[in-house]
Amino acid sequence: MLVPDLFLAMMKEEWRIHSTVFWGFWFALFPVMIVVFAFFGSLTLPFFSDAVPYTVAALLAQIFFLLAGAMVGSFGLMGREFMNRRFGQASLIAYVSRSLPISERRIFATFLMKDTIYYILLYVLPFTVGFAAATPFISIDPGYIILAFASLALAFLIGLSAVCFLSTLYAHSVRLLAATLVVLALALFHAGTVVFPPYSFFLDPGLEPLALSLLFILIPAAISVLFVTVDYPDQVKRFKNSLDSLAERLSPLGSEHFIAKDALDLLRSEGGAGKVVFSFLLPVGLIWLCLQILIQFVPGIDPLMIFAVLLGVISSTIYNWLTEFDSFSSYAFLPVEVSGMIDAKLKSYGILSLLPVAVLVFAAAATGGAAAPFIPALAVLISVSAYTLAVTVYLTGLHPNVMLYHAGVFARYVLATSPVLLLIIFASIFDPLYALGSLLLVPAAAFLLSRSRRGWQTWEISGY
Amino acid sequence: MHQMIEAETLTKQYGTVTAVDGISLSIVRGELFGLLGPNGSGKTTMIRMLTGQVRPTSGSARVMGLDVVEDPIRVRELVGIIPEQETPPSFLTAEEYLHFVARIRGLDRIDARCDHWFDLLEFQDKRDVLCKDLSRGTRQKLMFAQAFLHEPCLVLIDEPLINLDPIMQRKVKDFLRGYTSKGGTVFLSTHILDIAEEICDRIGIIHNGRLLHAGRVDDLTGSGRHLEPFFLDLVRGDVGA
Ligand SMILES: Nc1ncnc2c1ncn2[C@@H]1O[C@H](COP(=O)(O)OP(=O)(O)OP(=O)(O)O)[C@@H](O)[C@H]1O
Ligand SMILES: [Mg+2]
């Protein structure tokens, strides 16, 4: 069924994409960093065991890997555009299938296989190694090491195959996707308590949760392979000029032509609205679901508040979409400054931020619509989103997609954001009103942004 | 005579590589100057320094009286630049891209200006096509139009004709000659010697970042020599040196 040579070629391709696009040597340190984080993270477990019991920590890890799987899946789907922008007409092997004497299904199956093995080696294995190294110090039975690896891998694969499944639906019809999402949401809502099979497997290893997990992986994956459609960008697309009318409408904001261009990039790039679904609404929806599960275990927390924190972090990745199709080298010969570009991107970001705000309103309404927790949650969303965005811009300028994979940059990103986020979460557990203190992040964000405008100004773009 | 470009021992080092090594030259209004050199000799780096896109390691340059390090944005406002790699943003159409550039430059009569270039370079039929779907030659036409949209009196062009067909090459060559005869100034880089010999007033030959020769094309051809053997002798001689 699978094609060994093709599989190897794809593995090599994936590694080269990462190591050439993402700073060679530094990329190789990425797994090492995961080991280090997992090690120290595990060491701190006993200190928090009152607030966060081991079982909850395990659940959090499961959720994290579920989301990582979903993210890897969506990157695979958007990979072609990303590559085209960076390397001209270069294409991933998976997209040139027409030039190979192999069926699309087999190529896609191989592609999934490659993602599975590559990312388990890159994410799950290092995480487990870090955890394993910490077990002697925190008196956890080493038997859990194997169990952790297996269940996290299962969680990751469920995320990956779910996204592939949904994207295959999307490729066939948007309505089909919408209907499926509604049915799934209703089913989950109806089921009340949901048990995540890999988590059950971790708590109580047995045949039943394992089989259930595998079904959750294999069935969606099989459907997406069987019904895969690869659409070739064959016909030349033509569009009437909409830049001017858009720019006219945006002119009160200034830099209107840049904002208009960002809008057209987003609307016309492959996926279009699908991108919003797969890299924003889907992870956000998953997080919301997971939080609903989590509050059954940790009674003290306010799900809306934690949701607002996470939503703020995810919102800041909107900046990655905005910079994805742009490289400063396409402006370097025009009278444009990096700071001007950053300003324009921030304005586009401000407009798109209405989306997470709408999501929060929706979530608040779903939890009963009490205004009291909503105001602090909104403050948290706005400040976290502004602050994580400012850190991203400060550390990566106009190139977040590339630079965040630089291990050193990523470490600084985590150090700059995670303590602050944890503080907000803990403060809000004491009293939701404390979360209003997060508004202090807004001036911090403004300071970082003004520093980045100047800092990136002098950066010479070597034109990758 | 009016100096359009003056470079004074301009040098750029990338780590241990000296891409441009102490080049001084000056170009006056109305000149069509060609910078010739083999691959990797420093032509692109030179153009990028002269337009404030790359900071010189040492030396200085003034373009239209402005210091390129002090005033890079002002320099790029005044001049037109066609970069080596034509990379218009992929999800705008050709027409939208030209309008986008015109808006960046704050121009008036945008439609008329764009129409003029669609007609002149004969790609009216491609104006609604996304830049990413344009052929390389059409993309190069677009970059040409982009550089001349604000009617600059100095243009710097990195490899101008590489992707154009012979008919278009003729057209562009004639256009450039006409442009300089009306007082425009062109600084172009190329390693296609025939083009340089045919249209340039003056050439500079660059190798390993050093300027080996600068002089009028007439002086060469007048003394019965051709550019190609001259160039090859010079560059090969330099390797031995
Ligand atoms: N951003 C950069 N970083 C490191 N080295 C560079 C960079 N840009 C250019 N170089 C080096 O500087 C030298 C000159 O390069 P440049 O691009 O200026 O040459 P060129 O004459 O334009 O060549 P070609 O005819 O191939 O376009 C080369 O050795 C190149 O490798
Ligand atoms: Mg060059």
| Domain identity same for B157 and B234 | yes
The pLDDT score that the predictor gives to residue A152 is: 94
Q: Is pLDDT of A146 > 80? A: yes
pLDDT digits (tens, 9 = 90+) for A154-173: 999 999 898 888 878 877 77
| Domain identity same for B159 and B233 | yes
Give φ, ψ of A26 to 5 degrees: -65, -30
| Domain identity same for B192 and B227 | yes
DSSP A52-89: S-HHHHHHHHHHHHHHHHHHHHHHHHHHHHHHHHHHTT
Residue A454: enclosing H or E segment and its boundaries?
helix A441-457
Tell me the ipTM for this assembly: 0.90
Q: Is pLDDT of A151 > 90? A: yes
- Whole-angstrom Cα distance, residue A112 to residue A104? 12
pLDDT digits (tens, 9 = 90+) for A14-37: 776 666 655 556 666 778 888 988
Nearest ligand to the C-alpha atom of residue A463: 1
- Count CB atoms within 10 A of the CB of residue A411: 14
Facing residue for A333 by CB, picked from B76, B93, B95: B76
**B202-207 β-sheet, strand order:** B80-82, B154-158, B185-190, B32-36, B202-207, B210-216
CB B195 within 8 A of CB B24: no
- Whole-angstrom Cα distance, residue A110 to residue A10? 8
Task: Give the three-class secondary structure for A23.
Answer: coil
Give me the domain span that covers residue B46: 1-79+153-163+172-241
Q: Is pLDDT of A64 > 50? A: yes
The dihedral over CA atoms of B130, B136, B137, B141, expressed in degrees to the nearest 10, equals 50
Chain B nearest-CA distance from A458, in A, is 9
The pLDDT score that the predictor gives to residue B90 is: 74
Q: Is A269 on the interface with B (CB under 8 A)?
A: yes
Q: Which residues of B touch A330 (CB under 8 A)?
A: 87-89
Find, among B85, B103, B77, the residue nearest to B139 by Cα: B85
Q: For chain B, give the mean pLDDT.
A: 90
Q: Which residues of A428-450 are buried (b: 16+ CB within 10 A; e: fewer)?
A: bbeebebbbbbeebeebbeebbe
The pLDDT score that the predictor gives to residue A170 is: 75
| Domain identity same for B106 and B147 | yes
pLDDT band at B241 (very low <50, low <70, confident <90, very high): very low
Q: Which residues of A touch B77 (CB under 8 A)?
A: 335
pLDDT band at B154 (very low <50, low <70, confident <90, very high): very high
Find, among B31, B29, B24, the residue nearest to B50 by Cα: B24
Max CA distance (Å), chain B: 55
Q: Whose CA is nearest to atom 5 of ligand 1?
A: B14
Judged by CB atoms closer than 8 Å, whether chains meet at B100 and A239 is answered as no
Query: What is the arithmetic mean of pLDDT over A415-433?
Result: 87
Q: Any idea which of A59-68, A79-88, B161-170 has the lowest mean pLDDT?
A: A79-88
Which residues have CB under 8 Å from A37's CB, separation 6+? A130, A414
Give φ, ψ of A238 to 5 degrees: -120, 140
CB A406 within 8 A of CB A19: no
| Domain identity same for B45 and B17 | yes
Find, among B36, B37, B51, B49, the residue nearest to B202 by Cα: B36
| Domain identity same for B137 and B233 | no
pLDDT digits (tens, 9 = 90+) for A108-133: 788 788 888 888 988 899 999 999 99
Q: Whose CA is nearest to atom 8 of ligand 1?
A: B45
Question: CB of B191 closer than 6 A to ligand 1?
Answer: yes
pLDDT band at B174 (very low <50, low <70, confident <90, very high): very high
CA of B108 relative to ligand 1 center, distance in Å = 37
| Domain identity same for B138 and B176 | no
Q: Is B157 exposed, middle or buried (0-12, 13-18, 19+ CB in 10 A)?
A: buried
Q: Which residue has better confidence, B149 or B133? A: B149
Q: Is B167 exposed, middle or buried (0-12, 13-18, 19+ CB in 10 A)?
A: exposed
- Count CB atoms within 10 A of the CB of residue A367: 17
The pLDDT score that the predictor gives to residue A232 is: 52
CB A400 within 8 A of CB A349: no
pLDDT band at B108 (very low <50, low <70, confident <90, very high): very high
Angle at A268 between CA A243 and CA A248, to 5 degrees: 20
CB A270 within 8 A of CB A326: no
Facing residue for A244 by CB, picked from B53, B99, B130: B99
Q: For chain A, give the mean pLDDT.
A: 80
Q: Is B51 on the interface with A (CB under 8 A)?
A: yes
- Whole-angstrom Cα distance, residue A134 to residue A125? 14
Which CATH number belongs to the domain containing residue B62 in this structure? 3.40.50.300
| Domain identity same for B119 and B232 | no
Residue of chain B minimizing CA distance to A336? B73
Q: Is B178 exposed, middle or buried (0-12, 13-18, 19+ CB in 10 A)?
A: exposed
Chain A nearest-CA distance from B103, in A, is 7
pLDDT digits (tens, 9 = 90+) for A251-306: 898 889 999 999 998 888 766 666 676 678 877 887 887 777 667 666 667 788 88
**Dihedral angle sign, alpha carbons of residues B183, B187, B190, B193:** positive
pLDDT band at A100 (very low <50, low <70, confident <90, very high): low
Contacts of range A181-185, beta carbons closer than 8 Å, 24 or more positions apart: A185/A285
Domain boundary among B151, B186, B201: B151
- Whole-angstrom Cα distance, residue B162 to residue B169? 9
| Domain identity same for B2 and B50 | yes
Q: Where are the alpha helices (DSSP H) in chain B?
A: 43-50, 72-78, 94-104, 110-120, 136-148, 166-181, 193-199, 217-222, 227-240
| Domain identity same for B64 and B116 | no
Q: Which residues of B touch A268 (CB under 8 A)?
A: 91, 130
Q: Which residue has better confidence, A9 or A163? A: A163
Q: Whose CA is nearest to atom 11 of ligand 1?
A: B19
Query: What is the arithmetic mean of pLDDT over A394-412?
Result: 78
User: What's the structural domain count of chain B?
Assistant: 2
Q: Any idea which of A131-145, A318-332, B22-36 has the lowest mean pLDDT?
A: A318-332
The pLDDT score that the predictor gives to residue A67 is: 82
Q: Where are the domains of chain A?
A: 1-235, 301-464
pLDDT digits (tens, 9 = 90+) for B117-140: 999 999 999 999 998 888 888 999
| Domain identity same for B32 and B44 | yes
Contacts of range A250-259, beta carbons closer than 8 Å, 24 or more positions apart: A253/A347, A254/A347, A255/A340, A255/A343, A255/A344, A255/A347, A256/B103, A257/B99, A257/B100, A257/B103, A257/B104, A258/A341, A258/A344, A258/A345, A258/A347, A258/A348, A259/A344, A259/A347, A259/A348, A259/A351
Cβ-Cβ pairs closer than 8 A, A with B, add up to 88
**B17-28 β-sheet, strand order:** B17-28, B3-14, B58-63, B66-67
Q: What are the C-alpha distances in Å from A282 to residues A24, B56, B57?
A: 31, 48, 49
- Whole-angstrom Cα distance, residue A216 to residue A160? 11
pLDDT digits (tens, 9 = 90+) for A189-221: 776 556 788 888 988 888 988 999 999 999 999
- Count CB atoms within 10 A of the CB of residue A192: 8
Max CA distance (Å), chain A: 66
The pLDDT score that the predictor gives to residue A184 is: 83
Facing residue for A243 by CB, picked from B73, B87, B92: B92
- Whole-angstrom Cα distance, residue A126 to residue B178? 65
Judged by CB atoms closer than 8 Å, whether chains meet at B100 and A337 is answered as no
CA of B163 relative to ligand 2 center, distance in Å = 14
Radius of gyration (Cα) for chain A, nearest Å? 22
Q: Which residue has better confidence, A398 or B125? A: B125
- Whole-angstrom Cα distance, residue A318 to residue A49? 34
The pLDDT score that the predictor gives to residue A29 is: 74
Query: What is the arithmetic mean of pLDDT over A309-315?
Result: 90
Residue A102: enclosing H or E segment and its boundaries?
none
Question: CB of B45 closer than 6 A to ligand 1?
Answer: yes
The pLDDT score that the predictor gives to residue A339 is: 87
The pLDDT score that the predictor gives to residue B36 is: 93
Q: pTM for the full model?
A: 0.78
Chain B nearest-CA distance from A257, in A, is 6
- Beta strand B66-67 with B58-63: parallel, antiparallel or unpaired? antiparallel
Chain B nearest-CA distance from A178, in A, is 27
Question: CB of A462 closer than 6 A to ligand 1?
Answer: yes
Q: Is pLDDT of B155 > 90? A: yes
- Whole-angstrom Cα distance, residue A333 to residue A43? 52
Q: Is pLDDT of A51 > 90? A: no
CB B202 within 8 A of CB B172: no
The pLDDT score that the predictor gives to residue A23 is: 56
The pLDDT score that the predictor gives to residue B136 is: 87
CB A131 within 8 A of CB A39: yes
Q: Which residues of B touch A326 (CB under 8 A)?
A: 89
The pLDDT score that the predictor gives to residue B186 is: 96
- Count CB atoms within 10 A of the CB of residue A272: 11
Note which residues in 115-134 of chain B have CB less than 8 A from chain A: 128-130, 132-133
| The two structure tokens encoding residue A393 | 């811009």
pLDDT digits (tens, 9 = 90+) for B50-86: 999 899 999 999 999 999 999 999 999 999 999 987 6
Q: Is A268 on the interface with B (CB under 8 A)?
A: yes
| Domain identity same for B56 and B92 | no
Angle at A180 between CA A176 and CA A184, to 5 degrees: 175
Beta-bridged to residue B5, according to DSSP, are B27, B63
| The two structure tokens encoding residue B121 | 């370079």
